[in-house]
Amino acid sequence: MYSRLISVLKFNLMDLDFQKVWEQGKVPLFLGLFGLLLVSGGLLVSLLFSQSQEPEIEIVSAEEESGTIWVDLAGAVMKPGVYELPVDSRYKDLLARAGGLSAEADREWVGKNLNLAQKLVDGQKVYLPFASEAEGEVAGAEAVKSDKININQAAATELDSL
């Protein structure tokens, strides 16, 4: 039984007419090869371009983009005004650009309260007081003591009055 099935399924290459098979199958064969070529070419191009054209995202702040900041300097300096400075500028750079402190500047206040190494930021306002603006003085004359208390320099009794 199996032998008969095997004999039926046996393929004899000698009986096959290659000329006839070629004539009947050459169009589908060429179309199949052409399609295979298109698909493989498309995959190759897709792989090449997807690796080389991947977008790079870079986050840049507005300050870094322009490279400058603007700072308003007022008070006891030689040349008060609005200054354009590099992004990484510090208070010492701003004072140098303004010609330094004026003769009327409260140098004690500047020494205690101003960190010359601190970085400036865009749009910042800096005010340096005159010596005449010290607590208890107005334009060189003695004035009535203010109701305000400096909590950094106040005595314990002054703090209790709050």
Mean pLDDT of 31-37: 88
Structure tokens at 159: 């703090």
Give pTM, 2 decimals. 0.46
If one compares 126 and 10, the residue with the highest pLDDT of the two is 126
In a domain, 57, yes or no: no
Q: What confidence tens digit (pLDDT) does each residue in 8-28 have? A: 556 555 566 667 767 777 788
The residue assigned the tokens 């052409």 is: 34
Please tell me whether residues 129 and 103 are part of one structural domain: yes
Please tell me whether residues 156 and 83 are part of one structural domain: yes
Q: Residue 116 is part of which domain span?
A: 63-160
Angstrom CA distances, 11 to 5, 14, 82, 93, stand at: 12, 9, 97, 95
How far is residue 12's CA from residue 16's CA, in Å, rounded to a whole number?
Answer: 7
Please tell me whether residues 42 and 95 are part of one structural domain: no
Please tell me whether residues 79 and 27 are part of one structural domain: no
Q: What is the tally of structural domains in the chain? A: 2
In a domain, 53, yes or no: no
Where residue 82 sits, what CATH number does that domain have?
A: 3.10.560
In a domain, 9, yes or no: no
Percent of the chain exceeding pLDDT 90 equals: 35
In a domain, 97, yes or no: yes
If one compares 150 and 136, the residue with the highest pLDDT of the two is 150
Phi, psi of 130 (to 5 degrees): -85, 160
Taking the mean position of all CA atoms in its chain, how far away is CA 29?
57
In a domain, 25, yes or no: yes
Mean pLDDT of the chain: 78
What is the sign, positive or negative, of the torsion defined by CA atoms of 5, 8, 13, 16? negative
In a domain, 102, yes or no: yes
In a domain, 1, yes or no: no
What pLDDT does residue 141 have? Answer: 42
In a domain, 10, yes or no: no
Mean pLDDT of 40-44: 88
Closest C-alpha among 89, 93, 95, 92 to residue 76: 95
Q: What confidence tens digit (pLDDT) does each residue in 45-89 have? A: 887 776 655 566 777 665 455 689 999 999 999 999 999 999 999
What pLDDT does residue 135 have? Answer: 58
Percent of the chain exceeding pLDDT 70 equals: 70
Please tell me whether residues 31 and 69 are part of one structural domain: no
What pLDDT does residue 90 have? Answer: 94
